[in-house]
Chain A
């Protein structure tokens, strides 16, 4: 309800406005009990993943034993699978795989989306914009699983075929959002002021525009993280996913052939672990979006 002078508004918009957005968001997020609870669950998964990566637990996920199809016991908390591997160890180690896939894909597609989206938005209407828009349209028009399969084969079975394919498809959503936001920002006074006093274009993009899209990037990265983990499951089922390791997707794919014969342990525990992480991440992502960009979540 207060009205400060317009001159002051222009001068403070890029830095102070941004800082208050983040401190307000932090305040709002910390008061969101569901969001904080979800974050705690995600962090717990993160600890499990880090421990598996550091060799603290889940290391014997590949070890065979004679006890095949064992029921849950003190030795094997979740029982064993068809070749006697410990399902608990496999589920733990798969957490590491999920975080690896999620982080790589989320970070890479956010960077690609931010750069291409910002370029398209800043030069909207020019040939750069046309090309980026065309590329987005093209990538969105190729059926996802066919695209992944094609990339997996084109990369001759490299373990990162899946990652590349996901990044190539997922960046377009981030790119479109960033493009829209940049077009909006471009028309605002502080950008026009910077341009009027002759700040170079790259500096304007890097210092004044991209930092003001960070809230979109952060939310979008969490959404891509979830999408990547979920896609990994399908891709592993199709034989295009994780190789030479274990993941919830591989466990569920294994289970697909077993459940008809009454072997449910693999299916249940991989599903529970996967669901817990995805649900927590979804709730965390919603709370984050609510705190950072309330227009998007009504």
Chain B
């Protein structure tokens, strides 16, 4: 009951965020975005035809009315039909979001788990050569552009100049074998790119926790170093770790996969959204941006509840 009340309060507090995100996006992507009128018309349209199309697209209404329509669409979760393909927007999302999730999930999970593992290892050997090696590797990894990694991975794993083990591009997930074949190279690239940043962040968090008084107390009572790391330090570091992971989720779902999707020709939600921006497919755009904002508010809520679960000092107020 207390939790429910808290959740409701938190969701209400998220309304300004949703309004802000949708307003700025609407202004940029819809109001100043590409005009679809002439693409939908044949050659030499009559003024009446133009008028007709503009009316269908809603271009004739004033700004406030259009934005109001948008908000109503978010509340009802009904975004109508794509301007380009005529498909229902909800169908488009239902088809593309699972693909994107399946594409990025393994890399996201592995990137964070390996990052935490390497960070623990580095922190445990702080100042020693293991630490220097790992942190040097992290800076190296951080210094290579995502695009270079993607291209290099493709050359190494998917071309006749390299190992030629995996398909060059495309996407299939009918069977587990197909999925494994198509997801491997994107996953390697994602992990490589994320690992440097993750390891550095997690190491800093863990090292900061290592200097706390209660860690010294635990040592003064004979706690062995490995137990110290995973029981006393990791649990105390969970708040920043959870924050980092949770807040990357909404962005990873929507835009983190854009480069991979574009490069490997995978029909995920990142690619669809990007195409929608460049072509002015407003219903799709409005849906993606609106849902991302709502997803952020939900993330904030879930993150707060997770804080409560890992740190008894946090109260849901």
Chains A and B in contact, CB within 8 Å? yes
Interface residues of A (CB under 8 A from B): 134-135, 137-139, 141-147, 149-151, 153-154, 230, 233-234, 237-239, 249, 252-253, 255-256, 259-260, 262, 267, 271, 274-275, 278-279, 282-283, 286, 296-298
Q: Are B161 and A262 in contact (CB under 8 A)?
A: yes
- Give bound CA distance, A234 to B274, whole Å: 13
A282: chain B residues at CB < 8 Å are 139, 142-143
- Give bound CA distance, A150 to B29, whole Å: 5
- Give bound CA distance, A239 to B262, whole Å: 12
A279: chain B residues at CB < 8 Å are 139-140, 143
Q: Identify which of A134, A146, A151, A267 contacts B20 (C-beta below 8 A).
A: A134
Q: Identify which of A135, A233, A259 contacts B145 (C-beta below 8 A).
A: A233
Q: Are B143 and A238 in contact (CB under 8 A)?
A: no
Shortest distance from the beta carbon of A186 to any chain B beta carbon, whole Å: 24
- Give bound CA distance, A253 to B293, whole Å: 31
Q: Are B139 and A238 in contact (CB under 8 A)?
A: no
Q: Are B20 and A234 in contact (CB under 8 A)?
A: no
Q: Are B255 and A138 in contact (CB under 8 A)?
A: no
B40 within 8 A of A: no
Interface SS of B by simple majority: helix
Q: Identify which of B144, B151, B154, B293 contacts A141 (C-beta below 8 A).
A: B293
B:244-267 near A, CB below 8 Å: 250-251, 254-255, 258-259, 262-263
19 sample A-B contacts, Cβ–Cβ < 8 Å, listed by A number:
A138-B21, A141-B17, A141-B20, A141-B21, A143-B289, A143-B292, A146-B254, A149-B278, A150-B277, A230-B146, A233-B147, A237-B259, A259-B159, A260-B154, A271-B145, A274-B148, A278-B142, A279-B140, A298-B126
Interface residues of B (CB under 8 A from A): 16-17, 20-21, 24-25, 27-29, 32-34, 126, 139-140, 142-148, 151-152, 154-155, 159, 161, 168, 203-204, 207-208, 250-251, 254-255, 258-259, 262-263, 270, 273-274, 277-278, 288-289, 292-293, 296
Shortest distance from the beta carbon of A219 to any chain B beta carbon, whole Å: 14
- Give bound CA distance, A134 to B145, whole Å: 31
Q: Are B32 and A154 in contact (CB under 8 A)?
A: yes
Q: Are A297 and B204 in contact (CB under 8 A)?
A: yes
Which 9 residue pairs of A and B lie closest in terms of their CB atoms, listed nearest first? A143-B255, A138-B20, A298-B207, A154-B32, A279-B143, A150-B28, A150-B29, A278-B143, A149-B277
- Give bound CA distance, A172 to B191, whole Å: 26
B274: chain A residues at CB < 8 Å are 145-146, 149, 238
B16: chain A residues at CB < 8 Å are 134
The closest CB in chain B to the CB of A285 belongs to B139
- Give bound CA distance, A166 to B296, whole Å: 21
Shortest distance from the beta carbon of A154 to any chain B beta carbon, whole Å: 4
Given contacts A153-B278, A234-B145, A255-B151, contact A146 B139 (CB under 8 A): no
- Give bound CA distance, A142 to B291, whole Å: 11
Q: Are A146 and B277 in contact (CB under 8 A)?
A: yes
Q: Are B28 and A154 in contact (CB under 8 A)?
A: yes
